[in-house]
Amino acid sequence: MIGLISATAAGAAARDRLATAWPDRTRVYGGVPVREAVERAFDECDALVCFLATGATVRLLAPLLGDKRTDPGVVCVDEAQRYAVALLGGHEGGANELAASVAGALPGCEPVVTTATDATGVPGLDALGWPVEGAVPSVTRAILDGTPVTLRATAQWPLPAFPDNVSPPPATAAPEAPTGLPDTAVEDLAVADGPRTTLWVTDEVLPLGPDEAVLRPPSLAVGIGASRGVSSDEVIGLIEQTLDDAGLSMRSVAELATVDAKAGEPGLLSAADRLDLPLRTYAAGVLADVEVPNPSDAPLAAVGTPSVAEAAALTAAGEEARLIVPKAKSVRLDGAPAMATAAVARRRPRGRLALVGLGPGARDLMTPRARDELRRASVLVGLDQYVEQIRDLLRPGTRVLESGLGSEEERARTAVAEARAGRSVALIGSGDAGVYAMASPALAEASTDIDVVGVPGVTAALAAAAVLGAPLGHDHVSVSLSDLHTPWEVIERRVRAAAESDTVVTFYNPRSRGRDWQLPKALAVLAEHRSPGTPVGVVRSASRHDEQVTLTTLGALDATVVDMMTVVTVGNTATRTVAGRMVTPRGYRWQT
Ligand code: SAH
C-alpha cells in the first residue's frame, strides 16, 4: 500500500489525482496534522508519496528511520508537481521505481533519482534480485569508482553487464613465464597480487575478506523424502545440516522438491513456508525413471519410486543437473528413526535469450519491459540501425554485436550461441521481434538448454493504424510483399484470399528500388473486389520524427510515394473516411 500525504491545496489536488489513478494501491492520510499522517503512513505502508518539500519531509521522517531493508520507500513531489524525488529507500524500498511511476501519472512531472548505481546505469548489487552478502557498500563503491573489481563466478550465470573495471581474474600465469614480458603484463600480475575487491557469484560458503561480497545465484534444488507426520523442525534441521556439511549456502536454494504423494504433508508444507521456498512435487512414475546413486526399497513400497530425495532434487534442478549431496537422513535427538531424507542437486546455469521488440521508433512506444530487458542483458544482438536507436539505454559494459542488413541467419545463430554459453542476451528488432523479424530464425536454432523470454512490441501495422484512425476495426491481415524468401505465387494467393474474404490488409515491405511491380499487382487483385473509392492509408516512418501520412483511395494511390519505410493499409468494402480519418466499422448491426 502507498500512503499519500499532503499539506497544501495544490498538494491535495495532486494527491487526489494519484489516488484516483491507483485506487487499489493507495491510501490517503488526511484529516490529521501532517506529522501524525507521516507517522501513521510510515508505520502502515510499504511506500509513501509526500506532496511536501524535501526539507519538511526529511525532518518529519528523521525520528522514524530504522533499517533500509524494512523502511518504506519515500518519494517527495514538489508544489508545482515538476519533480518526483526518490528520497529514501531507492532500491530496497522501491522508491526509484515509484518516483518513475509517480512522474508517469502526473503530467509534466519528472523522476529524480540520486542513488549512484541507477543514475549511472551500473547495476546495484541489491537490484539484481539475488541475495547478496558481505561488503556490499564497498564493492558497489569500487564498481562505481572504476577501481578494479575481480568477478569470480563459479559458473557462467546470465548476469547483466558490468563496466570494464569489473573483470574475471587474470588467467593464472603459465608455470614457465616467457621472458621479455611486456611491461603491462608485469603490472597486471602486480595488481593481481595486491588486495583486490572481489565480487563472488557462487552457492558455496566462503570466508569473505573485508572487500568481498557474494551474490547467491538460485542454483540449488533440495529433494526431500518424508514419513507421514514429520515435523517442520526436523525437515528444516535436516536441510540446514545437509547444506552446512557440504559448505553450501541456504540462500542459493531455489526450491524444495518431493513426490506427489507428499504434496499435502503438513510438516513439509510448513517447512517450505518457513523457508519461503516453493515446494514442487512430481509423480512417482517420473521420479522412478531418474537414475540415482542410492535407490531403496522402502519408498518403492510406500510411494512407488525407489528414490524420492535424490530423484526429486535432480528433477527439480532440470536438464544436466548434478547431484552434489547424496541422500542424507535426519538425526533425532531421542534416537527415534529418521522421518526425513534430503539430497541436493545443482542446476546447470541456463543462458537467457530475450526477443525484444523495440516498437515502431518513438521512445515512448517502447514498453517498459523491453527497456528492462535491454538493461538486463550483457550481450545485445541486432541490426546496426536498431542498436543506434537504443544504445543510450544499455548498461556500461554491454557487449554489442551489431551487423548490417541481410545477415539475419548469422545474427540469429550468434544470439543463440551466446545464450547457450550461459549469457544474458537480448536480440532486438523494430516493432515486434516476432513479426517478419528475428524471433523465428532464432527459435528455429534454439534448443531446450536456454531460457527464452519474448517481449512484444508495437508492430508497424498498429503504429500506422493509430495514426490513420481506426482502419483495423474489423478482421484484418498483414501481408509482406517481399518475395525474397517467399515465391510471388504464394503472396498473390494470400492477397487474393484477403480480397475475396473482404479483409482489411496491411502490406509490410511494400516496395523497394528493385521491387516495384508487386505493390501495384497486389492492389489490382484487391481492386477486383473493392471499389476505387476504398480508403487506403500510407504511413511512412510511423511515430518517428519524419513520419508521413497519406490518406488516399485504391483508385488514386500513387505507388511511387511508397518505399521500404512504409506500410500500406487498404480498407475493406465497409471502410470509410470520416473527418479525415480512416474508419472500419466493427460490423455490429446497430452501427449499420
Ligand atoms: N518487425 C517489424 C517489421 C519488420 S519488416 C514490425 O513489427 O513492425 C520491415 C517492414 O516493416 C518495413 O518494410 C515497413 O513496411 C514496416 N515498418 C517497420 N517500421 C515501420 C514504421 N515505423 N513505419 C512504417 N512502416 C514500418
Atom of ligand 1 nearest to the CA of 432: 7
Per-residue model confidence as pLDDT tens digits over 35-61: 999 999 999 999 999 999 999 999 999
Distance CA 342, CA 570 (A): 64
Atom of ligand 1 nearest to the CA of 541: 23
Distance CA 521, CA 496 (A): 11
Distance CA 515, CA 163 (A): 45
Q: Are residues 471 and 569 in the same domain?
A: yes
Q: What is the CATH number of the domain that holds 17?
A: 3.40.50.11220
Distance between Cα 431 and ligand 1 center (Å): 7
Q: Is residue 320 part of a domain?
A: yes
CA distances from 395 to 5, 130, 132, 165, 427 (A): 35, 18, 20, 13, 15
Residue 579 grid coordinates:
473527418
Q: What are phi and psi of 227, to 5 degrees?
A: -85, 155
- Looking up cell 530423484, which residue turns up? 311
The residue ranking higher by pLDDT, 122 or 523, is 523
Show which of 215, 241, 271 is a domain's final residue: 215
Confirm if 582 and 468 have CB atoms less than 8 A apart.
Answer: yes
What's the rounded mean pLDDT across residues 289-312? 94
Which residue, judged by its Cα, is nearest atom 20 of ligand 1? 460
Q: Where are the alpha helices (DSSP H) in 121-163?
A: 136-145
CA distances from 592 to 263, 503, 575, 584 (A): 57, 18, 12, 12
Which residue, judged by its Cα, is nearest atom 13 of ligand 1? 509
Q: What pLDDT does 589 receive?
A: 66
Distance between Cα 392 and ligand 1 center (Å): 22
Confirm if 539 and 464 have CB atoms less than 8 A apart.
Answer: yes
**Confidence at 173, pLDDT banded by 50, 70, 90:** very low
Show which of 301, 318, 346 is a domain's final residue: 346
Distance between Cα 435 and ligand 1 center (Å): 9
Q: What pLDDT does 363 receive?
A: 93
For 448, the 3-state DSSP assignment is coil
Atom of ligand 1 nearest to the CA of 539: 24
Distance between Cα 420 and ligand 1 center (Å): 29
Q: Are residues 42 and 109 in the same domain?
A: yes
Q: Are residues 282 and 304 in the same domain?
A: yes
Residue 260 has pLDDT above 60, yes or no: yes
Residue 421 grid coordinates:
554459453
Q: Are residues 166 and 228 in the same domain?
A: no
Q: Is residue 527 part of a domain?
A: yes
Distance CA 89, CA 67 (A): 10
Count of structural domains, the chain? 5
Residue 488 grid coordinates:
510471388
Burial class (CB in 10 A: 0-12, 13-18, 19+), 415: buried
Q: Are residues 107 and 17 in the same domain?
A: yes
Sheet with 566-570, side-by-side order of all strands: 476-480, 504-508, 566-570, 535-540, 548-553
Which residue, judged by its Cα, is nearest atom 18 of ligand 1? 460
What's the rounded mean pLDDT across residues 430-450? 94
Per-residue model confidence as pLDDT tens digits over 199-209: 999 999 999 99
Give the closest residue to 212 by CA, choosing from 234, 196, 228.
Answer: 196
Q: What is the CATH number of the domain that holds 497?
A: 3.30.950.10
Q: Which of 364, 566, 569, 570 to mutate to test the pocket of ligand 1 (most atoms within 8 A of CB)?
A: 566
Distance CA 328, CA 558 (A): 78
- Looking up cell 541507477, which residue turns up? 118
Q: What pLDDT does 524 receive?
A: 97
Count of CB atoms within 10 A of residue 7's CB? 17
Distance between Cα 565 and ligand 1 center (Å): 6
Q: Are residues 238 and 328 in the same domain?
A: yes
Q: Which of 482, 508, 511 to mutate to test the pocket of ligand 1 (most atoms within 8 A of CB)?
A: 508
- Looking up cell 531455489, which residue turns up? 254
Q: Are residues 47 and 137 in the same domain?
A: no
Distance between Cα 432 and ligand 1 center (Å): 9
What's the rounded mean pLDDT across residues 539-554? 96
Distance between Cα 405 and ligand 1 center (Å): 14
Distance between Cα 424 and ligand 1 center (Å): 26
What's the rounded mean pLDDT across residues 153-176? 77
Atom of ligand 1 nearest to the CA of 434: 1
Q: Are residues 9 and 39 in the same domain?
A: yes
Q: Are residues 13 and 108 in the same domain?
A: yes
> Which residues span the domain enclosing 415?
352-458
Q: Which of 355, 356, 430 to mutate to test the pocket of ligand 1 (most atoms within 8 A of CB)?
A: 430
Q: Is residue 389 part of a domain?
A: yes
Q: Is residue 588 part of a domain?
A: no
Q: Are residues 88 and 159 in the same domain?
A: no
> Ligand 1: residues whose CB is within 6 Å?
360-361, 429-432, 435-437, 459-460, 463-464, 508-510, 539-544, 564-567
Distance between Cα 127 and ligand 1 center (Å): 35
Per-residue model confidence as pLDDT tens digits over 478-490: 999 998 889 999 9
Q: What is the CATH number of the domain that holds 245?
A: 3.30.420.180
Q: Are residues 107 and 153 in the same domain?
A: no
Per-residue model confidence as pLDDT tens digits over 393-422: 898 889 999 877 668 888 899 999 999 999
Q: What pLDDT does 205 receive?
A: 96
Q: Is residue 198 part of a domain?
A: yes
Q: Is residue 319 part of a domain?
A: yes
Q: Is residue 247 part of a domain?
A: yes
Q: Which pTM was predicted?
A: 0.75
Show which of 322, 346, 370 is a domain's final residue: 346
Report residue 91 CA to chain centroid gap.
17
Q: Are residues 452 and 470 in the same domain?
A: no
Distance CA 310, CA 326 (A): 7
Give the closest residue to 198 by CA, choosing from 206, 209, 185.
Answer: 209
Q: Which of 440, 567, 568 to mutate to test the pocket of ligand 1 (most atoms within 8 A of CB)?
A: 567
CA neighbours within 13 Å on the CB side: how many for 39? 6
Distance CA 230, CA 264 (A): 12
Q: Is residue 310 part of a domain?
A: yes
Distance between Cα 425 and ligand 1 center (Å): 23
Which residue, judged by its Cα, is nearest atom 9 of ligand 1? 509
Q: What pLDDT does 194 receive?
A: 53
Per-residue model confidence as pLDDT tens digits over 311-331: 999 999 998 899 999 999 988
